Amino acid sequence: MAALFRPRANVVFATVLAAVAALVAGAPTAAWIWMRTPYATGQHAPPPQPVPFDHRHHVRDDAIDCRYCHFAAERSPTAGIPPTAVCMNCHSQIFRSSPLLAPVRESWFENRPLSWERVNGLPDHVYFDHSAHVRRGVGCVECHGRVDLMPLASQSAPLQMGWCLDCHRDPAPRLRPPDKATDMEWKPPGDARRFGESLAGSMHVKPPMHCSGCHR
């Protein structure tokens, strides 16, 4: 009686089983890797904004402190989005006719806020307090990167839980005097870890490691 399957069917069947097993095992790994790439985290991709605000010009050239626009960073969980009035403090006097600033003028005269796109966003289930970090000596550059070198602001860090936990587990090398929080070019005097450890002791820096510290 003729065989129902040819001899090579065993090879085909084993190959298919191996491929399915590889797919089942590899899919979660591939997803895990993908979620940590800039394509998934949104790093280094400036979102479109109503006005091409040049942080490099404002921060580096004009020496405008971060807190002038992000006025609530030291006293509130949110850093604050500058209202049009803050822009007009300067631009009612300089570059008054610039076409690039037409949306700012329209916003001012129509009493309508500008629709800025968030650059550094966290999921709704994550609680982050700007003031707790700034007042404990975590510099803006640690999370936001060298904003003073960005023509258009983009997300610098992955902002994923593992990245945050790395800092919470070992904050010392990232600490600085709170009054230097907005200084993009500040460097620690000597060894960063030893200097940070002394600051952590004097300021009682003890980042939460329990889930409710960030998930409330």
Residues 6+ apart with CB under 8 A from 4: none
What was the pLDDT predicted at 24? 80
Are 81 and 58 contacting, i.e. CB atoms less than 8 angstroms apart? no
Least Cα distance to 154 among 8, 65, 52, 5 occurs for 52
Cβ atoms < 10 Å from Cβ of 59? 22
What was the pLDDT predicted at 37? 77
pTM: 0.81
Are 159 and 122 contacting, i.e. CB atoms less than 8 angstroms apart? yes
Q: Note down pLDDT in tens along the chain; length 216 residues.
A: 455 666 676 777 778 778 888 778 777 777 667 666 777 778 889 999 999 999 999 999 999 999 999 999 999 999 999 999 999 999 999 999 999 999 999 999 999 999 999 999 899 999 999 999 999 999 999 999 999 999 999 999 999 999 999 999 999 999 999 999 999 999 999 999 999 999 999 999 999 999 999 998
Residues 6+ apart with CB under 8 A from 125: 215
Contacts for 159-163: CB closer than 8 Å, 24+ residues apart: 159/41, 159/120, 159/121, 159/122, 160/35, 160/36, 160/41, 161/214
Domain residue ranges of the chain, discontinuous segments joined by +:
120-213
What was the pLDDT predicted at 4? 62
